Amino acid sequence: MSIITEIIETLKKTPPARLLTFLALTGALFIFPQVVDSPYALHIMILVFLSVIMGGSWNILGGYTGQYSVGHAAYFGSGAYATMMLMQFREIPPWFGMLAGVAAAIAAGLIIGSICFRLRGPYFVLASIAATEIMRLSALNLKDLTNGAEGILATEIPPLSIGSALITDFSTKAPFYYIGLVFALAIIGVTWLVQHSKLGYCFQAIREDQDASHSLGINPGMYKQLSLTISAAFTSLAGSFYAVYIGFIDPTTVLSLDMSVQIVLICIIGGIGTIFGPVVGALVLVPLSEALRSNLITQTLISAGLVSEESPVGQFLKENLAHAHVLIYGILVVVVILFMPEGVLGFLRKRLAERRSKTA
Amino acid sequence: MNTILELRHVSKFFGGLAANSDISFALEKGMIKGLIGPNGAGKTTLFNCMTGYYPPSRGEILFKGTSITGLRPDRVCRLGMARTWQKVRPLVKMTVLDNVMVGALCRVNSLVKAREIAMEQLEVVGMAGKARVIAGGLPIGERKKLEVARVLATKPELLLLDEVMGGLNPAESEEIIRLILEIKSRGITQMVIEHDMKTIMRISDRIVVLNSGEKLAEGAPAEIVANQEVVDAYLGESNA
């Protein structure tokens, strides 16, 4: 009980302006689908929410506890596969599949953690990759269970109803939008709770110096496992959400190294070990990758009159830039990491602090 | 005699090398015991054995009458034996206050209480004014004091200090000496590894001398100074 009163006390101490901004933004996000009708805009927002959940859950383990797992696809895939397998092969609604996914991810986390947490630094990273590869190869080869390389296609999503009242039949994007938003808010809330509790202090102490924290009465093994459990559970939720929303999963997407790296990038680009870092990362990466994929850049250049559509340069860009989106994405990521080692959020904060000290 | 810690025939082998062999001694409550010896004598290894970082290869360690042989470091700390590190280990990205709070959270779950305890300890070491500073930016003298404050926040009954004065200038060392005596006046038992003979003779009630992993001598400072074997170990055997 005292913990709860303490949390309320901490909330009271946060600057009201910041709290109000957060509440206003959240409110605006809840109204957004009523105002904006474009399915494409909703799609982008849903992808942003998905990235926030992915990045936010990695942040608990990687950002706060300092265990750089490059194998979070294992938990993402656990959620995605549990949900889809139960929905397609057993006709169990995704709500229960999602919970099964969380349980599976936590179980996977216990096994992977008990092995990988014996290792530190780069060795932990390698072990986390290896563990996920095992899961990918298993999913690929256990054809009776997972459909192997063919993947699983969702034929129809059972409608959500409470009692006899139909809540939604998932025929539009709006229900996905709200589910994504609620999950994203949940991971932000959990991160806030972690940062403002004993848990956060123990996690960060382990990140800074495992041996020193061990000598101060912290059991690193237990806290690292706890951190992974929280992280895996939310990554699994992201996986379930992705599977139902996209409607198709296979081992090479949801259990791939690409997916693991994607999860890490959201956090690193945004700002590691901060509550809103993953949000910033998602806001930067999702629109960026969408803009590159749909060749918005060439279109903007042409419509701004900088490049003529008929000129050889214009032709070249039109034909090739969209194909090169992965390359450009990669280059931009390198640039951010080189020039903003603390992520976009860290960079902005530093600039703000500098400006403040200049005016003062 | 009021014993808080007892080592019984403790040995630690690394392969064929005996870093500690057959070491026995007892610590009396409230006293300061010096631990000295030439480089490589096994002082830090002994601390690591006592605090659970290495399980001893042989022998037994009793803390407050119960065996703690083979217990993990966090359990040892919770029982009331805490140590500092020869090479200081601040949690560099956290503030000074947060560093000490991590220590305090060993005893309490509430952040508010931990903050209170942490501020008290920072007052003790005279660093309350630096509470909001990021620990990574501190000079060595203050890092050492932070290390002491952090370990005090775990509310130890026995404190193991591993060269807290190493690398400090005379004025800073003097501050640490005052701090050690202050801690003693609070009834906390201490075992101190130090290289500076003048200091160790001044603060210790009793001294244990290690050489090549073995206990060479034990006694009051005056006895140690007069011990020919100890002098030989430090200065080489005289031909006279």
Contacts of A40 (CB under 8 A, 6+ apart): none
Q: What SS3 state is found at A185?
A: helix
Cα distance from B135 to chain A (closest Cα, Å)?
Answer: 11
Q: Is the pLDDT of residue A102 over 90?
A: yes
A346 contacts in chain B (CB < 8 Å):
none
Measured CA to CA, the distance from residue A325 to residue A294 in angstroms comes to 9
Nearest CA in chain B to A200: B102
Examine residue A185 and state whether it is found in any structural domain, yes or no.
yes
Q: Which residue has the higher pLDDT, A46 or A297?
A: A46
Contacts of A128 (CB under 8 A, 6+ apart): A68, A69, A70, A71, A74, A112, A116, A260
Q: φ and ψ at B66, to 5 degrees?
A: -115, 150
Q: What is the pLDDT of residues A149-178, one digit of tens each?
A: 888 888 877 877 776 777 777 778 888 999
DSSP category for residue B182: H
Chain B CB within 8 Å of residue A342 CB = no
User: Mean pLDDT of all residues in chain B?
Assistant: 90
Nearest to B89 among A2, A212, A219 (CB): A212
Q: φ and ψ at B192, to 5 degrees?
A: -125, 125
Q: What is the pLDDT of residues A291-323, one digit of tens each?
A: 877 777 777 777 777 777 777 777 777 777 767
Which percentage of chain A shows pLDDT scores above 90? Answer: 47
Tokens of A33: 């689908």
Mean per-residue pLDDT for B198-209?
Answer: 91
Q: Is the pLDDT of residue B240 over 60?
A: no
Q: What is the pLDDT of residues B71-97, one digit of tens each?
A: 999 999 999 999 999 888 999 999 999
The model's confidence at residue A38, banded by pLDDT at 50, 70 and 90, is confident
Which percentage of chain B shows pLDDT scores above 90? Answer: 56
Mark which residues 210-229 of A lie under 8 Å from B by CB: 211-220
Q: Please give the interface size between A and B, counted as residue pairs whose CB atoms are below 8 Å apart.
A: 84
The model's confidence at residue A14, banded by pLDDT at 50, 70 and 90, is confident
Q: Diameter of chain B by CA atoms? A: 65
Tokens of A124: 């932990």
Chain B CB within 8 Å of residue A118 CB = no
Helices A73-89 & A94-116 angle (0-180, nearest 10): 150
Per the CB < 8 Å rule, is A198 touching B91? Answer: no
Of the candidates B20, B10, B2, the residue with the CA atom closest to the CA atom of residue B214: B20
Q: What is the pLDDT of residue A283?
A: 92
Q: What is the pLDDT of residues B143-161, one digit of tens each?
A: 999 999 999 999 999 999 9
Q: Is the pLDDT of residue B239 over 60?
A: no
**Structural domains of chain A, count:** 1
ipTM of the complex: 0.88
Beta bridge partners, B72, equal none
Cα distance from B237 to chain A (closest Cα, Å)?
Answer: 39
Q: What is the pLDDT of residue A124?
A: 92
Q: What is the pLDDT of residue B233?
A: 81
Examine residue A70 and state whether it is found in any structural domain, yes or no.
yes
Per the CB < 8 Å rule, is A6 touching B98? Answer: no
Q: What is the pLDDT of residue A237?
A: 95
Question: What are the residue boundaries of the structural domains of chain B, listed by start?
Answer: 3-80+156-235, 92-155
Q: What is the pLDDT of residues B39-71, one digit of tens each?
A: 888 899 999 999 999 999 999 999 998 999 989
The model's confidence at residue A349, banded by pLDDT at 50, 70 and 90, is confident
Per the CB < 8 Å rule, is A214 touching B73? Answer: yes
Measured CA to CA, the distance from residue B196 to residue B189 in angstroms comes to 20
A207 contacts in chain B (CB < 8 Å):
93
Q: What is the pLDDT of residue A2?
A: 65
The model's confidence at residue A343, banded by pLDDT at 50, 70 and 90, is confident
The C-alpha R_g of chain A, in whole angstroms, comes to 22
Contacts 24+ apart (CB under 8 A), A192-198: A192/A275, A193/A7, A194/A60, A194/A64, A194/A230, A195/A64, A195/A275, A196/A7, A196/A10, A196/B111, A197/A3, A197/A7, A197/B111, A198/B105, A198/B109, A198/B110, A198/B111, A198/B114
Measured CA to CA, the distance from residue A57 to residue A50 in angstroms comes to 11
Q: Domain containing A59: what range?
A: 38-156+168-256
Give the residue from B44, B72, B91, B159 with the most A CB atoms within 10 Å of its CB, the best one to mutate.
B91
Q: Is the pLDDT of residue A101 over 60?
A: yes
Cα distance from A216 to chain B (closest Cα, Å)?
Answer: 5
User: Mean pLDDT of all residues in chain A?
Assistant: 87
Q: Is the pLDDT of residue A6 over 60?
A: yes
Cα distance from B161 to chain A (closest Cα, Å)?
Answer: 13
A212 contacts in chain B (CB < 8 Å):
85, 89, 91
A202 contacts in chain B (CB < 8 Å):
102, 105
Q: What is the pLDDT of residue B238?
A: 59
A216 contacts in chain B (CB < 8 Å):
74, 77, 82, 102-103, 106, 150-151, 154
Which percentage of chain A shows pLDDT scores above 70? Answer: 98
Q: What SS3 state is found at B219?
A: strand
Q: Whole-model pTM?
A: 0.88
Q: Are A104 and A139 in contact (CB under 8 A)?
A: no
The model's confidence at residue B237, banded by pLDDT at 50, 70 and 90, is low
Examine residue A338 and state whether it is found in any structural domain, yes or no.
no
B94 contacts in chain A (CB < 8 Å):
204-205, 208
Per the CB < 8 Å rule, is A219 touching B74? Answer: yes
B83 contacts in chain A (CB < 8 Å):
215
Q: What is the pLDDT of residue B89?
A: 92
Examine residue A214 and state whether it is found in any structural domain, yes or no.
yes
Tokens of A84: 């889809």
Examine residue A176 and state whether it is found in any structural domain, yes or no.
yes
**Domain B3-80+156-235 carries which CATH code?**
3.40.50.300
Q: What is the pLDDT of residue A158?
A: 80
Measured CA to CA, the distance from residue B39 to residue A153 in angstroms comes to 68
